[in-house]
Structure 1
Amino acid sequence: MKTNYIARAGVIAAVYAACTLVTMLFLGNLAWGPIQFRISEALCALALLTPAAVPGLMLGCAIANIANIALSGTGALGLLDVVFGSLATCVGALFTWKMRRHPAIALAGPVLANALIVPAYLPILLTGVGFYTIPFTSISLDGAWPLMYLFGLVTTGAGEAVIMYVLGYPLYRSLAKTHMMQREVSEVGTSR
């Protein structure tokens, strides 16, 4: 059982990291930045089906954010995203696992975690990579942390909500119907 758990977590981590990097290649900054549609976050719905998704998603997010440091040149400031972005994904996935009996509510976990955590460090990261105003406005980031946090809360939360409910929920519904996932859910239920 432990080997299967580790293998599942590893596969989920690899898929999350790969999906994030593909999003970065084809959709540019939509995988990172103040307005996010990180398609890989739809995989947080896997936490409705297996507890292995929690560490898998956190590890996958950390790997993707480390790769982003190398690809985008954010340098040491990118470590903020590695630590806190991965924390947001972990907290969201853990909430999803704990609330799995209520999928529509459970999927709000990643939305809330990302909306509350990511905008807290985003102004620092954006300033470090050359943004000096809140995107789409002329408001300076210097001294405008509350405004930037509010902007990030809305945009990151909205983007995450779209991903979780438009992509994540159908993904969950499709996988829940498969024989393999039904077996996984019953194994987890009997091991408690």
Structure 2
Amino acid sequence: MLRSGVEERDRIANPRKRNEVIVSTVQSALIAALYILLTLLPSFMSYGMLQLRVSEALTVLPAIFPSAITGVFLGCLLSNILNPSPLGLIDVVAGSLTTLVAAFATWRLAAPWRRKLAKEGFRRSENRDENKELPTWRDLVIPLLPQVLLNALVVGVYLPFLMTPQAVTFGLVAASCGLLALSQSIVVFGLGLPLVTALARTPMGMKSIRRQDASFLTKRTD
């Protein structure tokens, strides 16, 4: 008996879907491993109220790769567990969930930028008015803000209570939030933003962007 058109499409699509799942899983694992490595190697500056966690540059990757949401979450979770001076369950759970929520927010907020890239690429026109509609790094500023704001407002608040519980004051909490906002801004915008714009120009980055745009258009059509 001849297969129906739907069955034939499923036969073709399923292996492709499985391959996408495998690629996504591998990407998540690699990002998690890299996050852990970049956190633990310079561990002297990756923890505490005065920190500069270089691995947070990877939290920009969800703007391009959905798999990075899981990757940075697992990386942060395991990095907090492996903290040479562990701060307990609150840091492990709250810190990791903050990274997860921020990563998801970045992915969602970066959708207009991805759609622009999928449609226009990185081309430039001699017409200035036309260039205003083309994607630029400025389109990523707002999508990357959750990495700064959520970490400052969540992690920055609880760190003083975990590290100096006997000397917590409003000023100390405010200073902790401010320092974390500053360090996150340096890493996310100083390292992460150039990283994500560079990756968006690669074949792998554009493939991920176009696949998500195609999925978005399919859902709108449905």
Normalising by the smaller structure, the TM-score range is 0.7 to 0.9
Count, aligned residues: 170
Question: In the TM superposition, what is the alpha-carbon distance from 1:113 to its structure 2 partner?
Answer: 0.8
Return the alpha-carbon distance in structure 1 between the equivalents of residues 50 and 164 of structure 2.
15
Instruction: Provide structure 2 residue ranges, at least 5 long, that are not aligned to the other structure.
Output: 1-19, 114-138, 217-222
Among 159, 162, 167, which residue is 2:186 paired with?
162
Return the alpha-carbon distance in structure 1 between the equivalents of residues 190 and 37 of structure 2.
20
**Residue 127 (structure 1) aligns with:** 164
**Residue 20 (structure 1) aligns with:** 39
**Residue 90 (structure 2) aligns with:** 80
Correspondence 1:147 to 2:146:
no
Return the alpha-carbon distance in structure 1 between the equivalents of residues 161 and 80 of structure 2.
16
Q: Output the amino acid matched with 1:38.
A: R
Matches within 5 A, 1:1-192: 1-24=20-43, 28=44, 30-68=45-83, 71-72=84-85, 74=86, 77-100=87-110, 101=113, 102-127=139-164, 141-142=167-168, 144=169, 146-192=170-216
Contact in 2 for aligned 1:175/1:181 (Cα 8 Å): yes
Return the alpha-carbon distance in structure 2 between the equivalents of residues 152 and 23 of structure 1.
20
The percent of aligned pairs where both chains have the same amino acid is 35
Question: In the TM superposition, what is the alpha-carbon distance from 1:36 to its structure 2 partner?
Answer: 1.9
**Residue 137 (structure 1) aligns with:** none
Question: In the TM superposition, what is the alpha-carbon distance from 1:65 to its structure 2 partner?
Answer: 0.7
Return the alpha-carbon distance in structure 2 between the equivalents of residues 166 and 43 of structure 1.
12
Return the alpha-carbon distance in structure 2 between the equivalents of residues 124 and 92 of structure 1.
22
Contact in 2 for aligned 1:91/1:110 (Cα 8 Å): no
Instruction: Provide structure 1 residue ranges, at least 5 long, that are not aligned to the other structure.
Output: 133-140
Contact in 2 for aligned 1:119/1:148 (Cα 8 Å): no
Q: Output the amino acid matched with 2:181.
A: G
Return the alpha-carbon distance in structure 2 between the equivalents of residues 96 and 31 of structure 1.
22
Question: In the TM superposition, what is the alpha-carbon distance from 1:79 to its structure 2 partner?
Answer: 2.0
Contact in 2 for aligned 1:57/1:90 (Cα 8 Å): yes
TM-score (norm 2): 0.72
CA RMSD of aligned residues (A): 1.5
Return the alpha-carbon distance in structure 1 between the equivalents of residues 140 and 42 of structure 2.
25
TM-score (norm 1): 0.83
Q: Output the amino acid matched with 1:95.
A: A
Return the alpha-carbon distance in structure 2 between the equivalents of residues 94 and 39 of structure 1.
20
